[in-house]
Amino acid sequence: TGIPLPAGTPTAGPWKLLDDAGRDVPVQVTPLKSTQAPWVLVDFQATVGAGATKSYTLKQQAPVTSLTPLTPSIPLTDVRATVYEGPGVEKLLIGNQVGAGSWEYTGPVRAIYRVDGIFRDGSTDYPGFGYTTRYTFFKGSNAIRVDYFLKNSHLSSKRHLKIKTATVKLGA
């Protein structure tokens, strides 16, 4: 959630988030630098029942307990896609990671790991196409959000690919 701050408010922390009962809530606050007015991105986990409401207050002061950033292990083991090239013609492409993946965003509540790569079929005449995968990890959860973006790496050729299947294998 993005929150605008009054003009002139410094965006540097420390920050604390309080629930409507005055209890500290683990929070991750990131200043947004690309805006004219001061804004902060606020990450926190809330449980609110159906039809219920809950209020939170963000304060510019140190929380009662400091949190350490998440350090999940990276589960990527295999990336593949099958491309439909015409009636009865399909091509299996293997994703080749380009360089090392990197942590795009880390904090005590949420962390995002980014992997860039190129799909190729092993031949030298197939130019391939790019991909970016982002893995989002959340504190206290075994769930991993996977955002997968396919990119036309050769914009001048205006190629169109029909992806029949795309698979990301996590774990061993």
Instruction: Quick: pLDDT tens for 98-130.
Output: 556 788 888 888 888 888 877 766 665 666 677
Cβ contacts of residue 23 below 8 Å, gap of 6+? none
Nearest to 93 by CA among 116, 123, 133: 123
Mean pLDDT over residues 43-52, rounded?
88
- The confidence band for 57, taking pLDDT boundaries of 50, 70 and 90, is very high
Lowest mean pLDDT among 44-53, 65-74, 161-170: 161-170
pLDDT score, position 152: 65
* Residue 80, phi then psi, degrees to nearest 5: -140, 155
Q: Report the pLDDT value the prediction gives residue 51, as an integer from 0 to 100.
A: 92
Instruction: Give the model's pLDDT for residue 5.
Output: 84
Residue 50: pLDDT over 90: yes
What is the spatial distance between Cα 16 and Cα 66, in angstroms, rounded to a whole number? 10
Average pLDDT, integer, range 133-159: 75
pTM beyond 0.85: no
Q: Could you tell me whether strands 56-59 and 16-19 are parallel, antiparallel, or unpaired per DSSP bridges?
A: antiparallel
- Strands 102-105, 110-120: pairing is antiparallel
Strands (E) located in 15-100: 16-19, 24-25, 28-32, 39-43, 56-59, 76-86, 89-97
| pLDDT at position 26 over 80 | yes
Residue 8 pLDDT exceeds 70: yes
* Residues 63 and 29 sit within 8 Å (Cβ to Cβ): no
